Amino acid sequence: MEAQVAVKNQSKKNQKSIAVAVAPGDGIGPEIMDATLKILEAAGAKITTHNIQIGKEVYLSGELSGIDKAAWDTIRKTKLILKGPITTPQGSGYKSLNVTLRKSLGLFANVRPVKTYEPLRRSGAPKMDVVIIRENEEDLYAGIEHQQTQDVVQCLKLITRPGCEKIVRYAFEYARIHDRQRVTCMIKDNIMKLTDGLFHRVFKEIAQEYPDIQSDSQIIDIGSARLAARPDQYDVVVTSNLYGDIISDIVAEVAGSVGLAGSANVGRDIAMFEAIHGSAPDIAGSSIANPTGLLMGACMMLEHIGQFDVAGNIRQAWFKTIQAGIHTADIYDAVKSQRKVGTSEFADAVIENLDHQASQTTTTSERAKINIPFYNRPKAVKSLLGVDVFIDWQGSDADEIGDRLAKINGGSLKLKMITNRGVKVYPNGLDETYCTDHWRCRFGDMKIDDQGKKKYLDVNYDSVLTLLSAIDKAGFEVIKTENLYSFDGVRGFSLGQGE
Ligand code: NAD
C-alpha cells in the first residue's frame, strides 16, 4: 500500500518526495504510528510512505524472523524505515526482529538523544541533555550461544576493530556537527581486557583526531551510576551494544518516561527510526499511548533527510502542547497537567500548535552528513603459540585431571595449566574453588627465557591435531578448542586468573 503524504506547501512543489518504508508494528504501534503520520502530514513533511507488515502477524504465520521477502525488498529500495515497536513472541525459535534488522542492514549506530523537558521533570530529578550512541551490530548480541556441558552454557562476546572504529568515529563526528562538547566512552576493560580493551584503545586513538572535542573514559559500572544520578555532567556517551542498551533505558526513565524518547539506527546506506519503548501490550487498543517517542524518531528521520525546518516546527509544536499541560496518561500529573488526552487528541493538539506560516515558507536545509571511511585491515604477523582445549569431565578433583593430562604424549605441546570458569585450578589450585564439569586446559611449547620467565614458542597446527588425538585416545571428551595466537608479537589471549 502506498500513500502520498499531502504537502500543503505550494512552494515545496518541486522538492523531491522521499520514499519511506513504514512499519506500524504491534501493540500500541498502529495507534502511535497513525498519530505520528497525521502530524507529519499536517507539518508538510515531503515523504511518500510504503506500508510494510513486520512483527507478530508475520512471526505467527511461520516466518521465524518476523519479516518476509516483500518487506525486505521495500526496505532495500527506500533505504529509510519508520518503525513501530515489535512484539517478539515468547518461545524458542523466534529471533528478535529488531536485532535482525539492525545487523542485516548494517545499522551500526544506535543514536538516542534524551532530554528533560521542564514541565515534565519530576521534582528533584536531574536535568539532562544527553545523547547515547550505542554500537548496534556486535558484542553479546551476536546471538552465538552454546550449551557445552551439562553445567555450562556460553554466549560469545564479539568485539571487532572495524566495529569499534565505525561507532567511535560516528560518535565524534556526531558531536562535532551537533555542537556537542564532550564524548565519554564507557567500558569494562579492567575485567575484559581484550574485548572492552580494544573498544577503549580505539576510542583513545580516534579521540586524538578530534582535538576540538573533549573526551574521557569511565568504567561502565560507576559510569552508569553517575549517569543516572548526575546526567547533567554528560554530553555524548559512546559504548558497546549491551551497555548501551541498558544505559539508554536508564537515562530515558530518569528523564521522565520511556514513552518520550526516539532513536535512530544508522548505517552507511540505510537508516531506521523508532521510539525506544516497546509495544506496551498492557495498554494496546485503549488509545491512551503517548506517541511522542515515535514522533521524536520521525523528527530525527526528517533531519536525516534534510527536512530540518519541518522537524523543528513539529518539535516546537510538541513542546507548546506539553507546556500547555495537554498530557497523555503516562505523563499526566494532577498538579501540573491541564487536560488528560488520548493518543489521537494529543496529535490534534500538536497539529493545532504547528506554525502553519512556517510550513508555507519552509525550505530544505543541509547539515553535514556523517561519512565513515571503510576499514583497511593492516597486515599483521600472526603466530600460533598453543591451544586451549575445553574438556567435559565429570570428576571434581583438579589434580586428578591435571596429572592425567600432564602425562599425555601429545608431541611438543605440554599442559601449562587448567582453569575452571576462568580460575586456575591446576597446578596449585585452592581446595575452596568450586569446579564445574567444564575444564579449560592450556597447552603450549614453553621455554625459559634469559630473564627466567616462561615463554611460548611458535607451534604449527599439526602439533595441535596430534595433541587432540592423544587427548581423545586418553578417554577425555573435547568440547571445543581455542587457538592461542599472538599478533605482531602481542599476546592475543587472556591469562587465567592466578596464572
Ligand atoms: P514496553 O516499553 O512495551 O512497556 C513498558 C511500560 O511502559 C508499560 O507499562 C507500558 O505501558 C509503558 N509504555 C511504553 N510505551 C508507552 C507509550 N508510548 N505511552 C505510554 N506508556 C508506554 O516494554 P515491555 O513491556 O518490556 O515490552 C513489551 C514488548 O515490546 C515485548 O514483546 C518486547 O520484546 C517489545 N519491545 C520492542 C521494542 C522495539 O520494537 N524497539 C523495544 C522494547 C521492547
pLDDT tens across 235-283, in order?
A: 999 999 999 999 998 998 888 777 788 999 999 999 999 999 999 999 9
Are 204 and 245 within one domain?
Answer: yes
CB distance 213 to 175 below 8 Å? yes
Least confident of 71-80, 184-193, 384-393, 490-499: 490-499
32-84 tens-digit pLDDT: 999 999 999 999 999 999 999 999 889 988 888 899 999 999 999 999 999 99
Q: Which of 230, 250, 270 is the last residue of a domain?
A: 250
Tell whether the model's pLDDT for residue 398 goes beyond 90. Answer: yes
16: closest CA among 306, 265, 409?
306
Are 245 and 138 within one domain?
Answer: yes
C-alpha cell at 183: 564524548
User: Ligand 1: which residues within 6 Å by Cβ?
Assistant: 28, 32, 85-88, 98, 258-259, 274, 277-283, 289-290, 293, 330
Using the mean position of ligand 1's atoms as its centre, give its distance from the Cα of residue 276 in Å.
8
Residue 351 domain boundaries: 1-107+256-369
Ligand 1, atom 37: closest residue by C-alpha: 278
Residue 118 lies in a domain: no
Residue 496 lies in a domain: no
Tally of CB atoms within 10 A around 451: 6
Tell whether the model's pLDDT for residue 444 goes beyond 80. Answer: yes
Ligand 1, atom 13: closest residue by C-alpha: 280
Q: What is the pLDDT of residue 454?
A: 79
352-365 tens-digit pLDDT: 999 987 755 445 55
200 vs 334: which has the higher pLDDT: 200
Report which ligand 1 atom has the smallest distance to the Cα of 289.
Answer: 19
Q: What is the pLDDT of residue 36?
A: 98
Q: What is the pLDDT of residue 253?
A: 86
Using the mean position of ligand 1's atoms as its centre, give its distance from the Cα of residue 275 in Å.
10
CB distance 451 to 425 below 8 Å? no
CB distance 272 to 281 below 8 Å? no
Q: What is the pLDDT of residue 409?
A: 83
In sequence order, what are the residues at sequence separation of 6 or more whose Cβ sits closer than 8 angstroms to the Cβ of residue 102?
A: 110, 136, 137, 265, 272
Q: How confident is the model at residue 195 (pLDDT cuts 50, 70, 90)?
A: very high
Report which ligand 1 atom has the smallest distance to the Cα of 97.
Answer: 40
Least confident of 9-23, 103-117, 167-181, 242-256: 9-23
Q: What is the pLDDT of residue 357?
A: 75
Residue 462 lies in a domain: yes
Are 151 and 172 within one domain?
Answer: yes
Can you give the CATH number for the domain in which 298 is found?
A: 3.40.718.10
Residue 76 lies in a domain: yes
Are 133 and 234 within one domain?
Answer: yes
C-alpha cell at 247: 544505559
Ligand 1, atom 8: closest residue by C-alpha: 280
Residue 436 lies in a domain: yes
Q: What is the mean pLDDT of residues 217-234?
A: 96
Are 246 and 264 within one domain?
Answer: no
Are 134 and 217 within one domain?
Answer: yes
| Angle 218-219-220 from CA coordinates, rounded to 5° | 105
Tell whether the model's pLDDT for residue 11 goes beyond 60. Answer: no
Q: What is the pLDDT of residue 498?
A: 65
Residue 499 lies in a domain: no
**263, 277, 331: which to mutate for ligand 1, most atoms within 8 A of CB?**
277
Are 229 and 272 within one domain?
Answer: no
Q: What is the mean pLDDT of residues 453-462?
A: 90
Q: What is the mean pLDDT of residues 113-136?
A: 87
Are 414 and 482 within one domain?
Answer: yes
Q: Which residues of 246-281 are buried (b: 16+ CB within 10 A; e: fewer)?
A: ebbbbbbebbbbbbbbbbbbbbeebbbbbbbbbbbe
Are 335 and 413 within one domain?
Answer: no
Q: How confident is the model at residue 6 (pLDDT cuts 50, 70, 90)?
A: very low
DSSP code of residue 326: E
Residue 112 lies in a domain: no
Using the mean position of ligand 1's atoms as its centre, give its distance from the Cα of residue 291 in Å.
12
Tell whether the model's pLDDT for residue 368 goes beyond 70. Answer: no
Q: Which of 219, 250, 281 is the last residue of a domain?
A: 250
Report which ligand 1 atom has the smallest distance to the Cα of 330.
Answer: 20
284-336 tens-digit pLDDT: 999 999 999 999 999 999 999 999 999 999 999 999 999 999 999 998 988 88
Report which ligand 1 atom has the smallest distance to the Cα of 292.
Answer: 18
Using the mean position of ligand 1's atoms as its centre, give its distance from the Cα of residue 279 in Å.
4
C-alpha cell at 42: 499536517
Q: Which of 206, 231, 250 is the last residue of a domain?
A: 250
Q: How many domains does the chain have?
A: 3
Are 276 and 233 within one domain?
Answer: no
Can you give the CATH number for the domain in which 434 is found?
A: 3.30.70.1570
Q: How confident is the model at residue 371 (pLDDT cuts 50, 70, 90)?
A: confident
Mean pLDDT of the chain: 91
**279, 294, 296, 341: which to mutate for ligand 1, most atoms within 8 A of CB?**
279
Question: Distance between alpha carbon 240 and the CA centroid of its chain, in Å?
Answer: 6
Outline where DSSP puts E strands in 173-239: 182-187, 214-219, 236-239
Ligand 1, atom 26: closest residue by C-alpha: 278
Residue 113 lies in a domain: no
Using the mean position of ligand 1's atoms as its centre, give its distance from the Cα of residue 109 in Å.
21
CA-to-CA dists, residue 345 to 25, 27, 177, 348, 421, angstroms: 21, 19, 35, 5, 56
Q: What is the pLDDT of residue 71?
A: 95
Tell whether the model's pLDDT for residue 13 goes beyond 50. Answer: no
Are 304 and 324 within one domain?
Answer: yes
Q: What is the mean pLDDT of residues 326-354?
A: 95
Ligand 1, atom 36: closest residue by C-alpha: 278
The helix (run of H) or strand (run of E) holding residue 35 is helix 29-43
C-alpha cell at 379: 597486515
Q: What is the pLDDT of residue 410?
A: 81
Are 101 and 87 within one domain?
Answer: yes
